[in-house]
Structure 1
Amino acid sequence: MVSSINQVTFDSRDGYALAQFWAEVTGYIEDPRYPNAPEDEENFIGPDGGHPGLLFINVPEGKTIKNRLHLDISPDTTRNEEVERLLGLGATIFEDHRKEDGSGWVTMLDPEGNEFCVERSKAERGE
């Protein structure tokens, strides 16, 4: 027997706002049967509103240390175009690991400081 991943959960100060940010990043949507709201303690988004998805739970404390787990995303466009789009959504660059030969990645922070990496797209990797 094995277990499947149902969702990845983020502790957050404002789960609703963070769910909105990540919905813009991923294209995930809320479950139409359980719409998200600013006053909710938990906010969920997933592919077509289903699982596996991302769950954002409100907690009183802010993030203080490096995440032990993070998401790696691969854009439909180029890595550099996606980095620019994410900056416009409120992400910030934490560490830039892009190399002159086009390889590498960019470590970014979401609006609450959670790390995630933007990798090259499949096309950029020749896939």
Structure 2
Amino acid sequence: MPMRMRFAMVPCLDLEGQQTFWCGALRGKLAGNEPYAMIDFPAGNGTSEQVLLMPAPPGHVAGAVLFWLQPTDGSLVDEVRRLEGLGALLIEKRHHGWGIGEVTMADPEGNAFIISSSLQEEREIPNLLDSKDWGDCDPFWEGSKTPYGRVDFVHVATI
């Protein structure tokens, strides 16, 4: 039987600041009251997902939760810039070729999360496979890691 994530819990030192950041980052809306905050955000299939923000316990160390996010459309670069505008910090870029990759970022309290290329970008890969342009000439990818070398994305055509 398939399972889905009910919600993710994020301990917060600044609950109000994290509400503002995660509502903006997930394009969500606040659905709970103090001392907890539930954020509902669209899942792209007519349903919504939830993130529970809660006060951090004494001795909390940032990094207890890791989200892996993927936009459904648009570009990874635009999404990274939008998140930076909300206060996220870019930590590391990993480029897989043809402009596809993922970026590790941190929210304003230092909790790491990953955002990968959009579904729209991944669906374009089969059209780019024969291209001589590996997509690494985009200034965004300068200095990025390529942990897997040139990745075979032929399987993406079935998404």
> Shorter chain as normaliser: what TM range?
0.7 to 0.9
Unaligned ranges ≥5, structure 1? none
Q: Secondary structure of 2:37's match?
A: strand
CA drift at 1:61: 3.7
What letter is aligned with 1:41?
P
Cα pair 1:107 1:116 within 8 Å, conserved: yes
Identity %: 27
What letter is aligned with 2:118?
S
Cα pair 1:13 1:58 within 8 Å, conserved: yes
Q: What is residue 18 of structure 2 aligned with on the other side?
A: 18
Q: Secondary structure of 1:98's match?
A: strand
* Residue among 116, 119, 122 paired with 1:119: 116
* Residue among 36, 39, 44 paired with 1:42: 36
Give the TM-score normalised by structure 2.
Answer: 0.63
Cα pair 1:7 1:51 within 8 Å, conserved: no
Q: What is residue 27 of structure 1 aligned with on the other side?
A: 27
Q: What is residue 73 of structure 1 aligned with on the other side?
A: 69
What letter is aligned with 1:26?
L
Cα pair 1:63 1:113 within 8 Å, conserved: no
Could you say which structure has the greater relative contact order, defined with CA pairs below 8 angstroms and 6 or more residues apart?
A: 1
Answering whether residue 6 of structure 2 is matched by residue 9 of structure 1, we say no
What letter is aligned with 1:56?
L
CA drift at 1:2: 8.4
Cα pair 1:109 1:115 within 8 Å, conserved: yes
Q: What is residue 107 of structure 1 aligned with on the other side?
A: 104
Question: Which is higher, the Rg of structure 1 or of structure 2?
Answer: 2
Partners of 1:88 and 1:116 in 2: how far apart?
A: 16
* Residue among 56, 60, 63 paired with 2:61: 63
Partners of 2:119 and 2:59 in 1: how far apart?
A: 37
Q: Secondary structure of 1:125's match?
A: helix
Partners of 1:26 and 1:8 in 2: how far apart?
A: 13
CA drift at 1:93: 0.7
